[in-house]
Structure 1
Amino acid sequence: MPAQALTTAFLASLPGREPASGAVSYFDTEIKGFLLEHRASGGATFYFRYRDAAGKVRLNRIGRVDEISLSDARAKAHKMRQMVAEGGDPKVESHRFTDVPTFAEFVTERYLPYAKTRKRSWQTDETMLRHHLLPVFGSYRMNRITRSDVVAFHHAVFEKGYAAGTCNRMIVLMKFIYNCAIRWDVLPPKSNPCDGVEPFEDHGARERYLTPEEVQRLFDELDANRNVQVGQVIRLLLYTGARKREILDARWDEIDFNRRLLTVPAARSKSKKPRHIPLSDAAIALLQSLPRRDDIPYVFFNPKTKKPPVSIFYAWDSIRKKVGLSDVRLHDLRHSYASFLVNAGRSLYEVQKLLGHHDPKVTMRYAHLSPQAMLEAANVVGNVIYSARAGRAAAAANQGQVGTATAMA
């Protein structure tokens, strides 16, 4: 068992040095326990030899010289030696030394199964990964992606015209995925390439509100459009101000026609508390007109899968473009619902309750929508002061008249 500095030059010299029979083990002079087994057949394999907690000699295979580089084999041997020094057993915890997965492998095999059980927004993650992150990073091993790669990607998607907030969310998602890999011991600590990537300055969410004339154009198209179900969903979003998934995932047993409420259970509510959505006359009439099937509990469903629609984006995209509303998102229907309430003179407190906002600060974004209402409110103070001053002047004048009359008498 000769001692030998395991170098690339030594590995290159192995052909022609095969032992006559059996195998020869070369023990590295740098890392104790790291060795190369060279067989008579010409094959050579890296191993790490150590003693476990019971004192038994164990041999842990690292990989053949034709499947792993010397530097990677040495790095694994170093980690195994550290583990043994800390009381661990490389054979028992062999999962810690498997090859680092590609970004696509980790996302598919580890991250998405985890997200589906813990994140309500996992479908958004899956879409962003499929369309943006995986095409760029999917084939790279996770430890080969650098901060400069992430920065270049961040700027590239921004130059394609995506909003600053959208670009930032891509980096936030990628950073979270890497943090999962670090937490699950797939990657070492402090190896997140997204650390230190500066987000683009986001000047706030874009606000877009439909006018009554635009709503009429939209409804005219919905009346003529072949996709009846999507038209019904769009109408209900405007009638209720609900979030998209609150309507798409609604079940018949969540609707109380007597109390005129749609109850979103805590499991699907953004606030993680049950949310009660009041149903207007128009919403009730629409719901009562919908077909129902005894074997399907959902209000809206795909006839083939008997499940709620996964997405209505492409149908909505076609509809909005036909009526010249290509800049209107589905979520803008919720904003429009709020704007109609405010412009009709309803209080922000009422809007907050109808939209299900937990924080009144969120509702304050609609405060500017009714300048006439704000002006009338501001005039209240002026009118009170004017009335008080006018009353005092009238009282003083009356008192003066009384005094004059007394003097004359």
Structure 2
Amino acid sequence: MTSRQEANGTWTSQFRYEDAYGRSRSKCKRGFATEADADRFERHFKARESKSLDISFLDFIELYEDDVAPQLKENTWRTKEYIINDKLVPFFGPMIMTEVTTLDAVRWQNALLKGNPRTGRPYTDTYLRTVNNQAVSIFNHAERFYKLKPNPFKRAPRIGSKIATDMSIWTKEDFLRFSSTLTGRPIYFMAFELLYWAGIRVGELLALVPDDFDLRRSELRITKSYQRINRRDVITDPKTENSVRTISLPEFLRDEVRDFAFDPPGFDHDERMFAGLTKASLSAALREGAQACGLEVIRVHDLRHSHVSLLVEMGFSVIAIAERLGHDSTDITLKYAHLLPSTQQKMGEALNGYQEADDELL
């Protein structure tokens, strides 16, 4: 690298490069805080100008972040960044992008399929698909914008599945047993009532303020989500566009919300109602309550799955359930396919009864 330190302590990056037409050019940029920052600028600039990927996977990830991160929510990028650093960099990090082969991709997949090396436990099918999709996304980006050829993941198999067959579910009776352990803990009782009976996400719960409720209509409006990022409380838009939705509340749940937050008023109209809770504290309370009444310990997010299971059992359509949860109906079908056969059986039985009724008229 050709970086140099100036008298004022800052660093300057000055170098020559070849543009897209093969002409030799010079570039100079000043004011970098560190030598590493100046060197990073040179690497990225040359890669963009020449569309050359004779750089390491680790260096390309810096380019990928510059291109992709500004277009994503901060928490979304943080999730992707964790997967990249934990699952991809240890394997692909030092490899030159143009030298990564399909066999390398398959070997990386096989290592994932062996499970978590720290715990020895296998990864879930949905997590495997998420991690694999992240790798595919990186190499597709390199192919599309930096002319990487060949793309090693084009011929690699897909691993994992979109269909979550490993989710844990509580029945209504299970949840009622659990909620009975929350006597004397009103904030936890109210939080878990909303998670189970409204099927909202944890981030949506933690962002709720009194203004989100219309008690006259018995409705809850979901318009935002809470995240804890780098020790900061961050309110973001919901997970997807479909996540902005209005949820009809059963009367008993509406009355519980009224008693908790409105009668008497316990919060300002725009004050977070569950600011005293965190994902960790909710998980701990769920585990403690489950163990106290002899239930399978599930994740907090599994209460959302349990809500779907309850709605399926009650006979609601996939489209109606998707609208309530803020999902696309296709996502619901894929994610909860294993819950739907009982509904299909009921359809078959109903059609059989309908046909038998016609036979009696003949």
TM-score normalised to structure 2 length: 0.63
Cα deviation, 1:180-238, whole Å, max 9, x if unaligned, reads 456665xx5226543432112638321543223322343244448x8x75654333121
For residues 113 and 262 of structure 1, do their structure 2 counterparts lie closer, same or farther at Cα, with a shift above 3 Å needed? farther
Q: Which amino acid aligns with 2:26?
A: K
Residue from 112, 123, 128 that aligns with 1:162: 123
The answer to whether structure 1 residue 301 and structure 2 residue 255 are counterparts is: no
Q: Report the CA distance between 1:367 and its aligned residue.
A: 3.9
- Secondary structure, counterpart of 1:354 in structure 2: helix
Q: Partners in 1 of 2:269 and 2:76 — Cα distance?
A: 27
- Secondary structure, counterpart of 2:25 in structure 1: coil
Task: Tell me: higher relative CO, structure 1 or 2? Use CA pairs within 8 A at least 6 residues apart.
Answer: 2
Q: Partners in 1 of 2:223 and 2:27 — Cα distance?
A: 44
Q: Quote the RMSD (CA, aligned, Å).
A: 4.4
Which runs of 5 or more residues in structure 1 are unaligned? 1-44, 47-59, 63-75, 304-308, 390-409
For residues 202 and 350 of structure 1, do their structure 2 counterparts lie closer, same or farther at Cα, with a shift above 3 Å needed? closer
The answer to whether structure 1 residue 378 and structure 2 residue 351 are counterparts is: yes
Do the aligned partners of 2:102 and 2:156 also contact (CA within 8 Å) in 1? yes
- Secondary structure, counterpart of 1:90 in structure 2: strand
Residue from 245, 265, 288 that aligns with 2:223: 265
Q: Where does residue 304 of structure 2 map in the other structure?
A: 334
Q: Partners in 2 of 1:277 and 1:293 — Cα distance?
A: 21
The answer to whether structure 1 residue 132 and structure 2 residue 105 are counterparts is: no
Residue from 28, 31, 46 that aligns with 1:97: 46
Q: Partners in 1 of 2:91 and 2:286 — Cα distance?
A: 26
For residues 150 and 345 of structure 1, do their structure 2 counterparts lie closer, same or farther at Cα, with a shift above 3 Å needed? closer
Q: Report the CA distance between 1:105 and its aligned residue.
A: 6.2
Q: Report the CA distance between 1:277 and its aligned residue.
A: 1.1
Q: Which amino acid aligns with 1:287?
A: V
Identity across matched positions, percent: 23
Q: Which amino acid aligns with 1:333?
A: L
Q: Which amino acid aligns with 1:216?
A: L
Residue from 45, 56, 65 that aligns with 1:111: 65
Q: Where does residue 219 of structure 1 map in the other structure?
A: 179
Q: Report the CA distance between 1:336 and its aligned residue.
A: 2.2
- Secondary structure, counterpart of 2:246 in structure 1: strand
Q: Partners in 2 of 1:367 and 1:149 — Cα distance?
A: 38
Cα deviation, 1:327-386, whole Å, max 9, x if unaligned, reads x44443233223323434555565454334543784584543357854662354135314
Q: Partners in 2 of 1:269 and 1:277 — Cα distance?
A: 16
Q: Partners in 2 of 1:105 and 1:317 — Cα distance?
A: 42
Q: Where does residue 287 of structure 1 map in the other structure?
A: 257
Q: Which amino acid aligns with 1:343?
A: E
Q: Report the CA distance between 1:144 and its aligned residue.
A: 6.7
- Secondary structure, counterpart of 2:45 in structure 1: helix
Residue from 188, 206, 209 that aligns with 1:248: 206
Q: Where does residue 11 of structure 2 map in the other structure?
A: none
Which runs of 5 or more residues in structure 2 are unaligned? 3-13, 29-41, 48-52, 116-121, 225-236
| Count of residue correspondences | 303
Q: Report the CA distance between 1:170 and its aligned residue.
A: 1.0
Q: Report the CA distance between 1:116 and its aligned residue.
A: 6.0
Q: Report the CA distance between 1:159 and its aligned residue.
A: 1.1
Do the aligned partners of 1:209 and 1:332 also contact (CA within 8 Å) in 2? yes
Q: Which amino acid aligns with 1:171?
A: N
- Secondary structure, counterpart of 1:250 in structure 2: coil
Q: Report the CA distance between 1:312 and its aligned residue.
A: 6.3
The answer to whether structure 1 residue 275 and structure 2 residue 245 are counterparts is: yes
Q: Where does residue 228 of structure 2 map in the other structure?
A: none
Q: Partners in 2 of 1:315 and 1:178 — Cα distance?
A: 39
Residue from 149, 158, 162 that aligns with 1:199: 158
Q: Partners in 1 of 2:287 and 2:187 — Cα distance?
A: 14
Residue from 325, 336, 348 that aligns with 2:296: 325
Q: Where does residue 108 of structure 2 map in the other structure?
A: 153
Q: Where does residue 38 of structure 2 map in the other structure?
A: none
Q: Report the CA distance between 1:176 and its aligned residue.
A: 1.7
Q: Partners in 2 of 1:373 and 1:130 — Cα distance?
A: 47
Q: Which amino acid aligns with 1:300?
A: F
Q: Report the CA distance between 1:239 and its aligned residue.
A: 0.8
Cα deviation, 1:269-297, whole Å, max 9, x if unaligned, reads 53447411112234324433158554964
Larger radius of gyration: 1
TM-score normalised to structure 1 length: 0.57
Do the aligned partners of 1:165 and 1:200 also contact (CA within 8 Å) in 2? no
- Secondary structure, counterpart of 1:283 in structure 2: helix
Q: Report the CA distance between 1:173 and its aligned residue.
A: 0.7
- Secondary structure, counterpart of 1:263 in structure 2: strand
Q: Which amino acid aligns with 1:172?
A: N
For residues 166 and 372 of structure 1, do their structure 2 counterparts lie closer, same or farther at Cα, with a shift above 3 Å needed? closer
Q: Where does residue 325 of structure 2 map in the other structure?
A: 355
